[in-house]
Structure 1
Amino acid sequence: MKSAVETLSPTRAKLTVEVPFEELKPSLDKAYKQIAQQINVPGFRRGKVPPQVIDRQVGRDVVRDQALNDVLPQKYSEAMQENDLTPLAQPEIEVTRFEDDGPLEFTAEVDVKPEIVLPDYAGLEAQVDDVEVTDEDVEEQVQALRERFGTLKDVERPAADGDFVVIDLKATQNGQPVEGAEVTGMSYQVGKGGMLDGLDEAVTGLSAGEEKEFTSQLVGGDLIGQDVDVVVKVSQVQEQELPEVDDEFAQLASEFDTVEELKADVRERLGRGKRLEQAAAARDAVLEALLEKVEVPLPEGIVTDELNNRRQQFEQQLAFAGLTLEKYLEDEGQTQEEFEADLERRVRESVAAQLVLDEIAAKNEYGVDQNELTQHIIRRAQQSGQDPQQAFGHLQEHPHHIQEYAAEIVRGKALAELVEGAKVTDKSGNEVRLKGLLPDGTFAEETEGAEESTEESTEA
């Protein structure tokens, strides 16, 4: 086999490959054997049909096409390795010559990994916000805990902000009931929002037994985004009574005996969470500092595909939340052009970061063992709320995802190396400790497991 490469851009190459008939013949022979097992020809046993008979029965072109499907991926892969190219996407292959008893010639255009010259990244500097847990932060958490243990009592007065109401809802359009837009006996907190526009205003001031009609837009179903007439009737108005913040409450809501112990625990947990947020900010800041020092040519095909994927995922998330992109942009005060520009900027930064981390991983020859892969799959499943066994079953059906997970692991190792070698300070000038930070926000002891723990927290 002979191959030549033409560089179309720093991220795209064109291969021209010539495969002599001698190297093509094994695939032709294999095709004849497979077809012989699949057809019935009088006078011949299955699998013993001669090639010349197969040519007459099914056609020489069928055999050649099957041989081509067998040999093309193999020779394409060999040509990529021969020319030291790493593909980033599926190639565009064109067969330019394929004759009987003659050579096979084809071209392949493909996005390839660009050459990246890494700068000295030891000692990168970055700054992040201080870790600060305020009394207001603690009180907010304690208030949320009080609401969890609050009780409701009926009151004979109009509903006000913060009250709970039991309501019936019915939507109509042009006088006709809207299918699936009717609920009965639903509990709703006034002022909470997130259901129907105008609902809070409609129920505020209503007493038990009163109703009101208003116009809104449905957030789901076939009529999503269309105006409908909604009638809401209040059957109960309830006031929430919250427990006093005292030692009795601490014993009810936690394993602690005193409210001081409870608040101390809340403060500690908030600190661990903010420490993880600070570590994530440090990771981003260090990576951004490196990207400012290196030029990364971006494959436009990869950028376009990632843009389309992210846009589609975002619109699916909005639809799940009962929103359209237009409504989201209106609420955010953002134009379509601003949204697209911001999305493209983030995609380009993400692709550049992946390429740089891949380069660092290759330089350090990072690998992935079975235990690392298993733990990574379990963490991914837990983060998405999926049963780990289902995740492993999915991988058996789609084994190509294993390579994606392996790439994520080695990038995590590369990022951990960057972060650990960087000098990160908070705005008060204090050095931020990152080595040995565990996914729960605590620190591991300085042991052999600390490096692995840092990689886990980096992934988290």
Structure 2
Amino acid sequence: MKSAVETLNPTRVRLTVEVPFEELKDSLDAAYKKINQQVTVKGFRKGKIPARVIDQRFGRGAVLEEAVNDALPKFYTEAVNEAELNVLGQPEVDITELKDGETLNFTAEVDVRPSLELPEDFSSIEVEVDAVEVTDEDVEKSVEQLRERFASTSPVERAAEDGDVVTVDLEAKVDGEVLEDGVAQGVSYTIGSGELLDGIDDAVKGLSAGEEATFTSELKGGSAAGKEAEVTVKVTQVAARELPELDDEFAQLASEFDTLDELKADSTKRLANMKQFDQATQAQERVLDKLLELVEVPVPEKLLEDEINTRKHNLEHHQLGQMGLTLDKYLELQGKTAEEFETETREAAVKGIKTQFVLDELVKREKLNVNQEELTEHLMRRAASSGMSPDQFAQAVVEGGQVPLLVGEVARGKALALVVESATVKDTNGEVVDLDDEEDEATAEAADADTEAADAAEEKTEG
């Protein structure tokens, strides 16, 4: 077999392959055997029909077609390996010549990973991040949120007010008909929380137990999601929320601390840790953006389209589907036009693919490996974000053949960490930031965010 490579553009090549006919022998034998099992010829036992009879009855062309279809993937793979190409997705194959007993010639156009020129070092990268500052207001807000969790309620004989917890019965009608899933009784709702239906706060405020009101609202879920409904709400109980006093007794109730001062000191420490992690994440993202500016990265159009479609599919059929929203309604809530959504999705897809290409090239250049401990830690983190147990997630990963994708994510995280170590990171106060404590996890998450969907798109094209 002979093959040659023609570069069509930085991300696409054309392979020209010439195959001597004798190399089709195994595939021809397999084709006769397959046809033998599928057809019946009077006078011959099934599977024992001579090749010449098959040629006469069904045509040599049918046999050749079967043999070529069987052999092409093997010859294509050999040509790819011989040329040391890093291909993306499926090729477009065109048989240019097929002479029985003489030769098989074909071409294959396919996308390839582009060759990238990375900087020798990344010391020129400098980014600014938010300073870590925990204010008294931050601490008070944190303690107040904890206080809200320990609030108690007690029934009152008065009209409902903001902050009260009301027990209500609901009935929703669309076009005058009560919905099958539009009736609910004994629903507990905190006025002002915004956790139920738009318009319910104004409807129930001022009502006492036993009173009802009617209002219109767009349903967020159920059989009539997105439709305007006439909702009748009846208040069966009004309860006032009572917050515990902010004192040492509350600290002992709500935490392991003996005093309120100790509780506030712990809140300060926790908030500082959270802000440090956020700062590290911000640093990784900004360093990554600077890195992508330094490298020219051509993007294969087919891979880009697959990436865009993957992102749209995940948004529409997973994220929005779980919330009972259509894409149009989502765009309305976001205040975006369809054109703006398309532009943002495309830009995010381009960034995701460029990130994967650049970090993979860095992994290759630096010969970065992933050990079992690093892979396990990454798997645990991904399991937590998916809502699955580590065992369930690991099983799904193995069964879906996704282990190489996870290994790639970890390796890219390590590559980005190398860049961050070389970069200069300063906060808004002009102080150089030491990211050692938070860097590993934040870097991994920053790399994951831009490459997970790109992985999925690439896997789809490679499949």
Take 1:120 and 1:127, find their aligned partners in 2: how far apart are those partners? 23
Take 1:268 and 1:292, find their aligned partners in 2: how far apart are those partners? 36
Q: Which residue matches 1:323?
A: 325
User: Is residue 412–residue 447 contact of structure 2 (8 Å, CA) maintained in 1?
Assistant: no
Q: Which residue matches 2:345?
A: 343
Residue aligned with 1:90, SS:
strand
Take 1:395 and 1:54, find their aligned partners in 2: how far apart are those partners? 46
- 2:8 corresponds to 1:8: yes
Pick from 333, 336, 353 the counterpart of residue 334 of structure 1.
336
Residue identity in the other structure for 1:353: T
Residue aligned with 1:292, SS:
helix
Take 1:398 and 1:304, find their aligned partners in 2: how far apart are those partners? 23
User: Is residue 417–residue 440 contact of structure 2 (8 Å, CA) maintained in 1?
Assistant: no
Residue identity in the other structure for 1:326: D
The structure-2 alpha-carbon separation of the partners of 1:83 and 1:325, relative to structure 1 and needing over 3 Å to count, comes to: same
The structure-2 alpha-carbon separation of the partners of 1:49 and 1:308, relative to structure 1 and needing over 3 Å to count, comes to: same
Residues 227-266 of structure 1 mapped to structure 2, 5 A cutoff: 227-266=228-267
User: Is residue 416–residue 458 contact of structure 1 (8 Å, CA) maintained in 2?
Assistant: no
The structure-2 alpha-carbon separation of the partners of 1:168 and 1:73, relative to structure 1 and needing over 3 Å to count, comes to: same
Q: Which residue matches 2:127?
A: 126
Q: Which residue matches 1:358?
A: 360
Instruction: Give the superposition deviation at 1:319.
Output: 3.1
Identical amino acids, percent of aligned pairs: 51
Take 1:392 and 1:33, find their aligned partners in 2: how far apart are those partners? 41
Q: Deviations over 1:328-363 (max 9, x none)?
A: 333333322222222222222222121111111111
Take 1:368 and 1:44, find their aligned partners in 2: how far apart are those partners? 59
Residues 86-105 of structure 1 mapped to structure 2, 5 A cutoff: 86-105=86-105
Q: Which residue matches 2:79?
A: 79
Residues 289-328 of structure 1 mapped to structure 2, 5 A cutoff: 289-316=290-317, 317-328=319-330
Residue identity in the other structure for 2:353: V
Q: Deviations over 1:40-80 (max 9, x none)?
A: 98998887765556667887566545544443222222222
The structure-2 alpha-carbon separation of the partners of 1:261 and 1:31, relative to structure 1 and needing over 3 Å to count, comes to: farther
Instruction: Give the superposition deviation at 1:277.
Output: 0.9
Take 2:279 and 2:200, find their aligned partners in 1: how far apart are those partners? 39
Take 2:422 and 2:439, find their aligned partners in 1: how far apart are those partners? 18
User: Is residue 382–residue 388 contact of structure 1 (8 Å, CA) maintained in 2?
Assistant: yes
User: Is residue 437–residue 457 contact of structure 1 (8 Å, CA) maintained in 2?
Assistant: no
Take 2:70 and 2:152, find their aligned partners in 1: how far apart are those partners? 70
Take 1:47 and 1:368, find their aligned partners in 2: how far apart are those partners? 51
The structure-2 alpha-carbon separation of the partners of 1:331 and 1:459, relative to structure 1 and needing over 3 Å to count, comes to: closer
Take 1:411 and 1:362, find their aligned partners in 2: how far apart are those partners? 10
Residue identity in the other structure for 2:200: L
Residues 95-174 of structure 1 mapped to structure 2, 5 A cutoff: 95-123=95-123, 124-174=125-175
User: Is residue 165–residue 238 contact of structure 1 (8 Å, CA) maintained in 2?
Assistant: yes
Residue aligned with 1:161, SS:
coil
Q: Deviations over 1:184-210 (max 9, x none)?
A: 101111111143221222112221111
Instruction: Give the superposition deviation at 1:129.
Output: 0.7
Q: Which residue matches 1:19?
A: 19
User: Is residue 299–residue 354 contact of structure 2 (8 Å, CA) maintained in 1?
Assistant: yes
User: Is residue 151–residue 242 contact of structure 2 (8 Å, CA) maintained in 1?
Assistant: yes
Take 1:19 and 1:194, find their aligned partners in 2: how far apart are those partners? 68
Q: How many residues align?
A: 447
Residue aligned with 1:257, SS:
coil
Residues 53-64 of structure 1 mapped to structure 2, 5 A cutoff: 63-64=63-64
Instruction: Give the superposition deviation at 1:425.
Output: 0.9
Residue identity in the other structure for 2:369: G
Q: Which residue matches 1:447?
A: none
Take 2:296 and 2:441, find their aligned partners in 1: how far apart are those partners? 35
User: Is residue 285–residue 446 contact of structure 2 (8 Å, CA) maintained in 1?
Assistant: no
The structure-2 alpha-carbon separation of the partners of 1:417 and 1:36, relative to structure 1 and needing over 3 Å to count, comes to: farther
Identify unmatched segments of 5+ residues in structure 2: 450-463
The structure-2 alpha-carbon separation of the partners of 1:251 and 1:202, relative to structure 1 and needing over 3 Å to count, comes to: same
Q: Which residue matches 1:272?
A: 273
The structure-2 alpha-carbon separation of the partners of 1:209 and 1:433, relative to structure 1 and needing over 3 Å to count, comes to: same
Q: Which has the higher helix share?
A: 2
Bigger relative contact order, structure 1 or 2 (CA pairs below 8 A, ≥6 apart): 2
Identify unmatched segments of 5+ residues in structure 1: 442-453
The structure-2 alpha-carbon separation of the partners of 1:431 and 1:57, relative to structure 1 and needing over 3 Å to count, comes to: farther
User: Is residue 357–residue 415 contact of structure 1 (8 Å, CA) maintained in 2?
Assistant: yes
The structure-2 alpha-carbon separation of the partners of 1:320 and 1:263, relative to structure 1 and needing over 3 Å to count, comes to: same
Instruction: Give the superposition deviation at 1:122.
Output: 2.4
Q: Deviations over 1:106-164 (max 9, x none)?
A: 22222211121112332121111111122222222212211221111111222222211
Residue aligned with 1:126, SS:
strand
The structure-2 alpha-carbon separation of the partners of 1:233 and 1:455, relative to structure 1 and needing over 3 Å to count, comes to: closer
The structure-2 alpha-carbon separation of the partners of 1:241 and 1:275, relative to structure 1 and needing over 3 Å to count, comes to: same
Pick from 376, 398, 406 the counterpart of residue 378 of structure 2.
376
Residue aligned with 1:255, SS:
coil
Take 2:138 and 2:90, find their aligned partners in 1: how far apart are those partners? 50
RMSD between aligned residues: 2.8
Instruction: Give the superposition deviation at 1:371.
Output: 4.5
Take 1:64 and 1:148, find their aligned partners in 2: how far apart are those partners? 75
Instruction: Give the superposition deviation at 1:5.
Output: 2.2
